[in-house]
Structure 1
Amino acid sequence: MNITNRAKHTASLSGFAALAVLLGPAADMTSATPRTAATPRPAAVAAQAVEAPRAADEAPLPTLTAQTSVSSVRAAQEFRVFGASRHLPPGTPVSLQQQQGTRWVDLPASVRTTPQGTYSMRVVLGIEGRNALRVTGGGAVSPVVYVTVEAREERA
């Protein structure tokens, strides 16, 4: 093969070399391609790609959702906070928190998630006005939900 034909042959195989790197050593079609010291072997390149850590191998972060059965209630009236968890084991305890000033305070309302990852808890609030609530558990925190507590009716 003369030098001109060899250059054309090498150029046409360079696309196959890239394909062989993607497909792995079994698809190596580059044996006719001349190698230099600077050109890595496809098997070495493929091994480097396999050894690199992948984001898909990391465990997904746990999440919680939260909803309320009502948007407003009278003081001492019962309502429900419910939602679902993702990437938490069944039976994970979840607790309700209320924002009081700048702090989140645990309320005496907690349940365990079901085998399907859902939860539902009964809640009674006494602080009048707009209440910010969230659910926590298993390292996850739900988005904030709001319930307005209206004043009790006074008897005449």
Structure 2
Amino acid sequence: MNRALRYATVGVVAVALLAGGSAAAFATTPEQLHAPAPVVATAPAAASLTAKASATTVNAWQEFRITGVAKGSKAGSKAGSKAGSKVTVQQKQGTKWVSLPASAPVNAGGTYGVRVKLGIKGVNELRVAAGSTVSPVVTVTVR
């Protein structure tokens, strides 16, 4: 190996090490020095739903709203999902969650708002569902 080539190789290795690229320091051809870095796939963000009731106590059949944000699922658009998907309000009846006839589309910003009327007096546990993703429980008392 001639002296000029050795000095060039040592210079490339030194610059690459100083730049923090140990892989670039061991490249064998100039094309390898300028090759793009490999793309690493990341897992999608976990889907989540939030829910907040506009009132904690209402009269029977009085309308209130449940609002929230859908992220990372088919329901929310901020994490690359489709706006216009629906969220549905569910009520705990005994040990089962029953879907109520109260649903709303998710807007382009990932938020939603659902109008709800309840007739079962007492403490009602509610949640919002979009597919298999559910929100934390919201409690509303009906008088």
TM-score (norm 2): 0.68
From the CA coordinates, give the structure whose radius of gyration is larger.
1
Corresponding residue of 1:25: 23
Q: Distance in 1 between matches of 2:42 and 2:22?
A: 21
Identical-pair percentage: 46
Letter of the structure 2 residue corresponding to residue 116 of structure 1: G
Letter of the structure 2 residue corresponding to residue 25 of structure 1: A
1:62-141 paired onto structure 2 within 5 Å: 62-87=47-72, 88=76, 89-141=82-134
Query: How far has the Cα of 1:26 moved from its partner?
Result: 1.7
Query: How far has the Cα of 1:27 moved from its partner?
Result: 2.1
* Residue ranges of structure 1 left out of the alignment (5+ in a row): 1-15, 29-49, 151-156
Deviations 1:36-77 (A, max 9, x none): xxxxxxxxxxxxxx79xx7x6111121100000000001011
| Count of aligned pairs between the two proteins | 110
TM-score (norm 1): 0.63
Structure with bigger helix share is: 1
Letter of the structure 1 residue corresponding to residue 136 of structure 2: P
How big is the alpha-carbon RMSD for the aligned residues of Structure 1 and Structure 2?
A: 2.4
Query: How far has the Cα of 1:108 moved from its partner?
Result: 0.2
Deviations 1:75-108 (A, max 9, x none): 0111001101111321111000000000000000
